[in-house]
Copies of this chain bind each other. A is one copy, B any other.
Amino acid sequence: MNQQQYDELHGYRRQDGENWVKRKVKNFGLVFTRNGCKKAVKRRLPILDWSSRYHKSQLSADIFAGVTTGIYNVPQAMSYSTLAGLPPVHGLYASFFSPIFYAIFGSSPTSSIGVFSITCLMVNNCIEKMQHGDNAIRFPGLTSIEIITSLCLLTGLFQTIMSVFRFNKAMLLLPESSVSAITFSACFFGIVNQIPKIFGFSVPHRNEFMFSLFHSMYDIAVHIPKLNEWTTLLSAGSLIYLIVSQMLFEPLFKKICKKFPFPRDLILMTLAITISYFLNLDAKYGVQTLRTVPRGFPHFGIPRIDLWIVIWYDAASIAIVAYSVTIAMGRMYASELKYRLDTNQELLALGITNFGSSFFPVFPTSCSLSRTVVNKDSGARSQLSGIVSALIILGVIEFFGVFLEPLPKCVLATIVVFVVRSLLKKCSELPYFWRCSINDFWIWIVTAIVTLCTDIAPGVFVGMAFALLTLAIPFLQPTTKRLGQIGEHDFKAKTHYQSAKETPFPIIRFDAPLIFCNAEKFTDMINDEISEKRENAANGSLEGWTAIILDCHTWTYTDSMGMDAVKEANDCLHRFNAILLFANLKSSVRRQYRAAGLIEERPIDEEDLEKEEKRIEQEESRIQEEKKTLSSVSMKMNRNKNKCAEANVESGGHDDEDISHIEIKISQDQKQLAEDEKKLVQDKKTLVQVRNELKMKQKKLKEFNKLSPEDQEKKRNEEVKKISYNQIYPSIQDALHAAPELITKQQELFDIKKSK
């Protein structure tokens, strides 16, 4: 049974998916219906959704979680802000605006948006890039606030555009191993950045694209003798406190109070402020403190957009990193808290958050792991907790700013280094990757090396590009296996299964879709396969037809170069007396072959056509008749119904049931009829198609007859070169069964030709 017969027997049909454009238009049209509009608004403004379902009992939990997260957030926001190379107050601003926007547009109830180490580092790199070198000349007198607001606006814009064009799909190309490597390398940047602050000295800035990290390390090593002893002492004290509290206080505290995290950093900061204030560290000992912290609500301002031409690259990479981290966090609790993360909406929420907050002195924000964990563990159940935590931050900005002024910068730097250091553990994933997924291993290594040698933004792009490249490897280097038979229906690689038996004809599996990047390999394989025959041919002794079976079940699609390769292979094998048989060829590939004229045309039988036409006519008349009878019956019934209704009023009614039975019957019949009609329309279409094909064929035949005998011969040869329907089989077994007969036929034809 060849493929065509198989398809006919089992009723093969191709349901053409709706046109992409049509589908999109239709989906878009739905928005304007009432229900669709409601749904769309609810999707795009999740606040309407969760606030309408909000239950009073959640309130206390949300407020508690919000307060906890808010308090936890204060030191984090300030220290990460210094990581971004900015005064700590900007971190507070960022932690105020972002959660408010996110609560309106975000779909995850636990994600806490705000400062995040990696994005802060990227912001820092961007600021340094802009304030030094060529850019400093191009944009003289640029303040860091101008840079971050411009960056924030562009990041938000990128994310919004990406969301509108559904580019969240493209973000899937950034694998977790890449993110892990970026995180790992970013730590080095973070730590190296903070070391001068910890020891209280400063290093000159270098504006280099390559190896800036190593140069900074060198600079630090050179400048370390200039350290400030008091700053170093204070940092050391902070570090000891942090280590002790992590090892001792935190476990103790956890036993006492499970929900509220130990306010480690807050205590350290309070202590440091007290010491600094009373000993007057800044003035007396040269320990740098924050000195001035602006009070009150930040000023509204319009970001500069002329910087975009230089910072688009940074904005794009921040947009990608922020998104991928936010999605990872959002998904973490999705199954536990039973919500479904809408990745597109998350992207939009991030975009609007960054877009909106860019009108205040705020840098791009993202979700952060530690805060999200705190938020969830302290009981957050809805986005309200984010709003509460924002209000806490607002309180700090409004009222406590002045108290923060004596805080030594080195304490914040120590906190950053202490927190960031734990991310270095990411490299412990490497042995796991090496063991189970070599691709992930190399993606990690390449991303890490690029990030360490250049910067985070190139790391993101190279990570994506390299991951994309690993996708190409199975296409570029497909394995080819010779199959043997196990049992009746099973064909497995001979190298893998000892009991796989030799088949009368070689069966070859080419383990990738045949496309441009492996067409050459396929051709080589076919050439190897017939190299013996080729040699015999060179000696003039080309005898005996044989067959080669290709198992094509991995060929999910093909392209023009793939089709050329198949054509060439079919041709070449034919020249050396071998028939190429295709088994398990997917229907989509067959359609492509047919469109390219690679498969011989379907033979059309005129008698069959006429029969089909008659059948359709009969069917049509049947349907018409039935329709008539049905309509008459239903009309009658309606009349009866009315009568009955009247009668019922009089007699108290018992015929209702009978009537409804009949009604159901009629509606069923009508449905059946409608389906039959649909099918008929389909059949008619097919008939018209086949008729057209026939006409085309007849036209071609006429043209063919007009040609000179030479050209006729040429055309005939071309036809012969096409893949015949007898070369395509639904399974290897069918191909094996059919091969001997095919060979005999070919042999006969060949002998006849030869004898001529």
A positions within 8 Å CB-CB of B: 9-15, 169, 172-173, 175-177, 335, 340, 343, 432-433, 435-437, 439-440, 467-469, 471-472, 474-477, 486, 489-490, 492, 495-500, 511, 513, 515-518, 520, 527, 553-554, 556-561, 563, 568, 572, 587, 592-593, 595-596, 730-731
Q: A490-B731, A596-B436 are in contact. Are A500 and B559 (CB under 8 A)?
A: no
Q: Are the C-beta atoms of B436 and A561 separated by less than 8 Å?
A: no
Closest to A174 in B: B516
Closest CB of chain B to A199's CB: distance in Å? Answer: 38
A-B contact pairs, 24 of them (CB 8 A): A11-B499, A12-B498, A14-B496, A172-B517, A172-B518, A172-B520, A173-B476, A175-B517, A175-B561, A177-B516, A177-B560, A343-B520, A432-B560, A432-B596, A435-B596, A437-B560, A439-B515, A440-B559, A467-B517, A468-B469, A471-B475, A471-B517, A553-B553, A554-B556
Question: Which residues from B are CB-within-8-Å of A496?
Answer: 12-15, 587
Q: Are the C-beta atoms of A492 and B10 separated by less than 8 Å?
A: yes
A596–B489 CA distance with the chains assembled, in angstroms: 32
Q: Are the C-beta atoms of A517 and B173 separated by less than 8 Å?
A: yes
Q: A175-B517, A436-B592, A731-B490 are in contact. Are A15 and B557 (CB under 8 A)?
A: no
Question: Which residues from B are CB-within-8-Å of A486?
Answer: 10
A490–B490 CA distance with the chains assembled, in angstroms: 11
Q: Are the C-beta atoms of B436 and A176 separated by less than 8 Å?
A: no
Q: A497-B10, A513-B474 are in contact. Are A595 and B518 (CB under 8 A)?
A: no
Given A335-B568, A436-B560, A440-B559, 18 more A-B residue pairs with CB atoms under 8 Å apart are A10-B486, A10-B500, A12-B496, A14-B496, A15-B495, A172-B518, A172-B520, A173-B517, A176-B560, A340-B527, A433-B560, A435-B595, A436-B592, A437-B558, A439-B557, A468-B468, A468-B471, A474-B557
Question: Which residues from B are CB-within-8-Å of A587?
Answer: 496
Q: Are the C-beta atoms of A561 and B516 separated by less than 8 Å?
A: no
Contact of A436 among B340, B435, B498, B563 (CB under 8 A): B563
Q: Are the C-beta atoms of A176 and B10 separated by less than 8 Å?
A: no
A340–B528 CA distance with the chains assembled, in angstroms: 11
Closest CB of chain B to A320's CB: distance in Å? Answer: 14
Q: A172-B520, A177-B560, A517-B173 are in contact. Are A13 and B439 (CB under 8 A)?
A: no
A175–B516 CA distance with the chains assembled, in angstroms: 6
Closest to A497 in B: B10
Closest CB of chain B to A242's CB: distance in Å? Answer: 29
Question: Which residues from B are CB-within-8-Å of A13?
Answer: 496, 498
Q: Are the C-beta atoms of B11 and A498 separated by less than 8 Å?
A: yes
Closest CB of chain B to A173's CB: distance in Å? Answer: 6
What 10 pairs between A and B have smallest CB-CB spacing? A11-B498, A175-B516, A436-B596, A437-B559, A436-B595, A10-B499, A172-B517, A489-B489, A10-B497, A435-B595
Closest to A489 in B: B489
Q: Are the C-beta atoms of A592 and B437 separated by less than 8 Å?
A: yes
A560–B437 CA distance with the chains assembled, in angstroms: 6
Q: Are the C-beta atoms of B517 and A476 separated by less than 8 Å?
A: no
Q: Are the C-beta atoms of B10 and A440 separated by less than 8 Å?
A: no
Closest to A572 in B: B335
Count of chain copies: 2
Q: Are the C-beta atoms of B468 and A516 separated by less than 8 Å?
A: no
A706–B176 CA distance with the chains assembled, in angstroms: 36
Question: Which residues from B are CB-within-8-Å of A511?
Answer: 556
Question: Which residues from B are CB-within-8-Å of A572?
Answer: 335
Closest to A341 in B: B520
Q: Are the C-beta atoms of B516 and A12 separated by less than 8 Å?
A: no
Question: Which residues from B are CB-within-8-Å of A467?
Answer: 516-517
A474–B512 CA distance with the chains assembled, in angstroms: 12
Most B Cβ at <10 Å: residue of A15, A173, A500? A173
Question: Which residues from B are CB-within-8-Å of A492?
Answer: 10
A652–B430 CA distance with the chains assembled, in angstroms: 75
Question: Which residues from B are CB-within-8-Å of A499?
Answer: 9-11
Closest to A563 in B: B436
Closest CB of chain B to A180's CB: distance in Å? Answer: 9
Question: Which residues from B are CB-within-8-Å of A471?
Answer: 468, 471-472, 475, 515, 517
Closest to A435 in B: B595
Closest to A594 in B: B436
Q: Are the C-beta atoms of B436 and A497 separated by less than 8 Å?
A: no
Question: Which residues from B are CB-within-8-Å of A730?
Answer: 490
A511–B554 CA distance with the chains assembled, in angstroms: 10
Question: Which residues from B are CB-within-8-Å of A12?
Answer: 496-498
Question: Which residues from B are CB-within-8-Å of A553?
Answer: 553
Closest to A538 in B: B338
Question: Which residues from B are CB-within-8-Å of A517?
Answer: 172-173, 175, 467, 471
Closest CB of chain B to A454's CB: distance in Å? Answer: 17
A474–B513 CA distance with the chains assembled, in angstroms: 10
A489–B732 CA distance with the chains assembled, in angstroms: 12
A516–B437 CA distance with the chains assembled, in angstroms: 11
Closest CB of chain B to A575's CB: distance in Å? Answer: 9
Question: Which residues from B are CB-within-8-Å of A436?
Answer: 560, 563, 592-593, 595-596
Q: A177-B560, A557-B474, A560-B440 are in contact. Are A516 and B10 (CB under 8 A)?
A: no
Closest to A168 in B: B520
A472–B175 CA distance with the chains assembled, in angstroms: 13
Q: Are the C-beta atoms of B172 and A476 separated by less than 8 Å?
A: yes
A172–B177 CA distance with the chains assembled, in angstroms: 27
Question: Which residues from B are CB-within-8-Å of A10?
Answer: 486, 492, 497-500
Closest CB of chain B to A445's CB: distance in Å? Answer: 14
Q: Are the C-beta atoms of B554 and A11 separated by less than 8 Å?
A: no
Q: Are the C-beta atoms of B476 and A169 separated by less than 8 Å?
A: yes
Closest CB of chain B to A329's CB: distance in Å? Answer: 15
Question: Which residues from B are CB-within-8-Å of A173?
Answer: 472, 476, 517
Closest to A553 in B: B553
Q: Are the C-beta atoms of A437 and B563 separated by less than 8 Å?
A: yes
Closest CB of chain B to A41's CB: distance in Å? Answer: 23
Most B Cβ at <10 Å: residue of A437, A592, A730? A437
Question: Which residues from B are CB-within-8-Å of A557?
Answer: 439, 474
A436–B566 CA distance with the chains assembled, in angstroms: 14
Question: Which residues from B are CB-within-8-Å of A15?
Answer: 495-496
Question: Which residues from B are CB-within-8-Å of A172?
Answer: 476, 516-518, 520
A554–B557 CA distance with the chains assembled, in angstroms: 13
A561–B13 CA distance with the chains assembled, in angstroms: 36
Question: Which residues from B are CB-within-8-Å of A440?
Answer: 559-560
Question: Which residues from B are CB-within-8-Å of A563?
Answer: 436-437
